[in-house]
Amino acid sequence: MSQPNALDQLKQFTTVVADTGNFESIRAYEPQDATTNPTLIFKAVQQAEYKPLLEKAIADNRNSALSGSALHRKVIDDLLIAFGREILSIVPGRVSTEVDARLSFDVEATVEKARYLIGLYEKLGTKREHVLIKIAATWEGAQAAAICQKEGINCNLTLLFSLPQAIACAEAGVRLISPFVGRIYDYYKAKTGKQYVGAEDPGVESVQKIFTYYKKFGYTTQVMGASFRNTGQIRELAGCDLLTIAPDLLQELKDSSDPVTRKLDASAAAAADVEKIAMDEKTFRWMLNEDDMATDKLAEGIRKFAADIVQLEQIIAKSF
C-alpha cells in the first residue's frame, strides 16, 4: 500500500483549515473549516470570478436609506456574509468572518458588530455554530469575545503573537485562537538575519508554548496555528488542535509523501512543568509591552487589515 500524502497524514493528527477566500482552492483540499480576513477578501473581489459577489452586495443596497461610510460598511458586511455562506456550501465545519479591525480597541462596538454579523447569517438560514467571529487579540478584543461567547457567539481571536494574549483569550472563554507563526518568524528573521528551521523557529516555539499552557491548565479554547511561511513550520506543529494553511502550502503537502509525525501531544503537555500566570489588564499590558515583537506585529496587523478595509470601501464608493 502506498504512503498517504503529507496532507492526509497531517489530517490524522490535526484539523486542517483552508486559509483562503478562493472557493476552488477550498474544494480541492477538502478542509474541515475555512478562514478569511480583510486582505484575502480585498484580493478576491479584484478577480473576475468573485466580482459578482461584490456586485450583488452593491445592488442589494442601491435603495438603502444609508449613505456615505455607513452604506459602504453595510455593503462590506453583506459581502463578508456572502463569502462566508459560499464557503459553508463547500466545507462541513465553520467559517471565520472578521470584525472591522478599526474596532479593535472598542469593546461595545466589537460586540455590536459581532451580534450584527451573526444576525445576518441567521436571517439567511446559517446556524451560528457554523460561524466564528474573528476579533483582534487586544485586551478589548478578549473582553468583547467574553461577552459574545456568553451569548453563544463563538469567536476566533486573531493577530495573536504572545502568551499573555493567549491567556487573556482563554480566560475569556473564546472558542479558538489563531497564533501567527509566519509573522513571528518574519520578525526574528529580519532582526537577526537567521534562517530558522524546524523546532528552533520562534513562531513554532510560540505555538508550542501556548498549546502546552492550555493543555496544562485545562483550557478548552482551541489553538489554530496560522500564517505559515513553509511546510516545515506546519510539520513541527502536527498535533495542534487546528492549522489554517494557504493553498500553495496545502498543495506542497499534498504533493509530498514524506512522513508526518505528531509533534504536539495534549497528554504530554498536561504533564509539563509550567507556572500559571494570573492575568489581569495590567499584567496583560505590561507583558505585551515587554515583548517588542508582539507589540510591533499586533499594531502592524491591525493597521494592515484596517487599510485593506479602507481600500475595499473606496472600491464600493465608486459604485454609488
* Position 65 in a domain: yes
Looking up residue 53, the CATH number of its domain turns out to be: 3.20.20.70
Domain that holds residue 224: 6-317
User: What average pLDDT does range 65-88 have in this prediction?
Assistant: 94
pLDDT of res. 43 = 87
User: What average pLDDT does range 122-147 have in this prediction?
Assistant: 98
Average pLDDT, the chain: 95
pTM assigned to the model: 0.95
Q: Is the pLDDT of residue 240 over 80?
A: yes
Q: Is the pLDDT of residue 2 over 80?
A: no
* Position 158 in a domain: yes
pLDDT of res. 45 = 86
How does residue 71 score in pLDDT terms, banded at 50, 70 and 90? very high
How does residue 3 score in pLDDT terms, banded at 50, 70 and 90? confident
Give the bridge partners for 95, in sequence order.
Answer: 34, 131
* Position 120 in a domain: yes
* Position 1 in a domain: no
Cα–Cα distance measured from residue 216 to residue 138, given in angstroms and rounded to the nearest whole number: 23
Cα–Cα distance measured from residue 212 to residue 230, given in angstroms and rounded to the nearest whole number: 23
* Position 154 in a domain: yes
How does residue 1 score in pLDDT terms, banded at 50, 70 and 90? low
Active site residues: 134
* Position 20 in a domain: yes
- Tell me which amino acid residue 198 is: G
User: What average pLDDT does range 16-36 have in this prediction?
Assistant: 91
Phi-psi bin for 7: left (phi > 0), alpha (psi -120 to 50), beta?
alpha
Q: Where are the alpha helices (DSSP H) in the chain?
A: 6-11, 23-29, 38-44, 51-59, 68-88, 107-123, 139-150, 163-171, 181-192, 202-216, 231-236, 247-254, 266-270, 281-289, 292-317
pLDDT of res. 296 = 98
Residue owning grid cell 495590567: 282
How does residue 317 score in pLDDT terms, banded at 50, 70 and 90? very high
* Position 75 in a domain: yes
How does residue 166 score in pLDDT terms, banded at 50, 70 and 90? very high
Q: Which grid cell sits at 288?
A: 505585551
Number of domains observed in the structure of the chain? 1
